[in-house]
Structure 1
Amino acid sequence: MADSLGNFFVEGGSVMYVILVALILAVLIAVERFYFVFFRFNINGENFMRKIQQLVEARNYERAIQLCNAVPRSALAKVVKAGLVKAGQDPRDIQNSVDEAALEILPKLTKRTGFLQVIANVATLLGLLGTIFGIILAFKAVAEVDPSMKQVVLTKGIAVALYTTAFGLIVAIPSMVAHALVESSTTKIIDEIDEYSVKLINQLAAKSQEDRQTA
């Protein structure tokens, strides 16, 4: 197996090693993004907000903040907490606090995700570049090489063309899939933040208005 992989890289030429670097980068970025998006920043938003809304309805803001502190790495919890600490204040202050927290957390959700798409495109183009190099070698075999070496050089050119194209696609396809999965989960988290932060602001504003009317 090791010998086969070694031959795969040797026969594919120098472009194979550049594609290998792209593969390593894609794996590192994908693992990091999967960890943050699927585990660190993500929670069950519906269940979490149901509990928060019940506590806000009971005006138990301190307990709601404690619930947010229980999941300190969650993106949604950070934004919700920013609104809860301003409970009872002017709705504009609540809105500004939520917006500030969202602006702080959203770049952390999206950073480096786009690199997966870039790596997929670059790997495909590198495979194409290797194909061109292979074709050049093949033509050189026909036009310039000694007849006794023509078979060897022609085989080498075909190997470079096929191996680099295959390896480029092997890197590109999983990178595109990883990008789609991470981007989909990121969009879901951002949509939850947008939806639930608006609902929280409206609920806190309604409670503040009720308190003023009964004061």
Structure 2
Amino acid sequence: MTDINTLIHDATIGLLVLLSIVTWLLILIKVVQSQKATQQNKQFIEQFWKSKNIQDAVKYAKQVEGPAARIAQVGFQTLLDADDQTHQDLQQTWSRQDLLERHLRKQILTERRHLEKGSAILASIGNNAPFIGLFGTVFGIIHALQAIAQSGNASMDVVAGPIGAALIATGIGIAVAVPAVLAYNYFVRKVKGIGADLDDFATDFVSLNQKSGFQIQATVVKTQNTLGKTLSNTSDDVKEQEAFA
């Protein structure tokens, strides 16, 4: 029985060490991911609004990576794929707007889900690590009490050492939980900030195309095939990044 208690206590500490490694690895990945997305969005949005016209904006969007760039690509591709013969009059303008807004919202949700990957793991570790540590402490104390009983000496010198060793698991559990919770809260706020920026860009994107009745000039249609290929490639890249995360 004593061996089992010791084994459980040691296994619990080993599990907490593993969770700590996972936590810091996720923190590193998420920091790089969020900083990269923020920088890409800032650069793209700044350069996008410096474009002289829609044609230049379409060409620029298909050459850049990042969440905001993918939203612009989806928006332009949606308008290019729309049935121009069906939507030539003003009565059909709002249906094109609804179509554009729906695709933009869908892409924003996709980008948010991609940025939120791994956050649930951090939350789970932060919530459960202290209890895992307490679980190990319980069996460590059982082992310590059994050892004290067998020795027949209950003095403070004999009791303090084994009990203190058993409490190490609880301390490690708290040490694992604190960074995980702090990181989770930070990344939740970070994703909300990026999502707000994407929402603002999508709103401005709709307003931009509203001025032209959600119609893209025929010269832009020449870039449709290239833009479609770009969207396909970026979609594959996002899937690969989600699988890695």
Take 1:34 and 1:192, find their aligned partners in 2: how far apart are those partners?
18
Structure 2 gap segments, 5+ residues each: 1-6, 83-95, 217-245
Q: Counterparts in 2 of 1:189-208, with a 5 A limit?
A: 189-208=194-213
Q: What residue number does 1:180 align with? A: 185
Asked if residue 112 in structure 1 is aligned to residue 134 in structure 2, the reply is: no
DSSP-derived class of the 1:207 partner: coil
Tell me, yes or no, if the aligned pair for 1:125 and 1:168 is still in contact at 8 Å.
yes
Asked if residue 66 in structure 1 is aligned to residue 44 in structure 2, the reply is: no
Take 1:36 and 1:210, find their aligned partners in 2: how far apart are those partners?
35
Letter in 2 for 1:49: I
Asked if residue 81 in structure 1 is aligned to residue 73 in structure 2, the reply is: yes
1:164 offset after TM fit, Å? 1.2
Take 2:72 and 2:215, find their aligned partners in 1: how far apart are those partners?
21
Take 1:87 and 1:54, find their aligned partners in 2: how far apart are those partners?
21
Take 1:172 and 1:104, find their aligned partners in 2: how far apart are those partners?
29
Q: What residue number does 1:34 align with? A: 31
Q: When the two structures are superposed, what TM-score results if normalisation uses the length of structure 1?
A: 0.75
Q: What residue number does 1:125 align with? A: 131
Of 12, 17, 26 in structure 2, the residue corresponding to residue 15 of structure 1 is 12
1:179 offset after TM fit, Å? 1.5
1:83 offset after TM fit, Å? 1.4
Instruction: Note the alpha carbon deviations across 1:139-182, whole angstroms, 9 max, x for none.
Output: 4345x322269865752232121x11221122111112221222
Instruction: Note the alpha carbon deviations across 1:44-71, whole angstroms, 9 max, x for none.
Output: 645643442343xx4x223213332343
Q: 1:13 to 1:50 in 2, by over 3 A?
A: closer
Tell me, yes or no, if the aligned pair for 2:61 and 2:69 is still in contact at 8 Å.
yes
Q: When the two structures are superposed, what TM-score results if normalisation uses the length of structure 2?
A: 0.67
Letter in 2 for 1:120: G
Q: Counterparts in 2 of 1:127-166, with a 5 A limit?
A: 127-142=133-148, 144-147=149-152, 155-161=161-167, 163-166=168-171
Structure 1 gap segments, 5+ residues each: 1-9
Tell me, yes or no, if the aligned pair for 2:132 and 2:173 is still in contact at 8 Å.
yes
Take 1:76 and 1:108, find their aligned partners in 2: how far apart are those partners?
13
Count of residue correspondences: 194
Q: What residue number does 2:240 align with? A: none
Take 2:63 and 2:212, find their aligned partners in 1: how far apart are those partners?
24
Tell me, yes or no, if the aligned pair for 1:76 and 1:189 is still in contact at 8 Å.
no
Tell me, yes or no, if the aligned pair for 2:126 and 2:177 is still in contact at 8 Å.
yes
Q: What residue number does 2:3 align with? A: none
Take 2:179 and 2:147, find their aligned partners in 1: how far apart are those partners?
35
Take 1:115 and 1:98, find their aligned partners in 2: how far apart are those partners?
28
| Pairwise CA RMSD | 3.0
1:113 offset after TM fit, Å? 0.9
Tell me, yes or no, if the aligned pair for 1:53 and 1:200 is still in contact at 8 Å.
no
Identity of aligned residues (%): 19
DSSP-derived class of the 2:200 partner: helix
Tell me, yes or no, if the aligned pair for 1:137 and 1:157 is still in contact at 8 Å.
no
Instruction: Note the alpha carbon deviations across 1:90-124, whole angstroms, 9 max, x for none.
Output: 22232233233224322211122121011122221
Q: What residue number does 2:45 align with? A: 49
Take 1:187 and 1:103, find their aligned partners in 2: how far apart are those partners?
12
Letter in 1 for 2:131: L
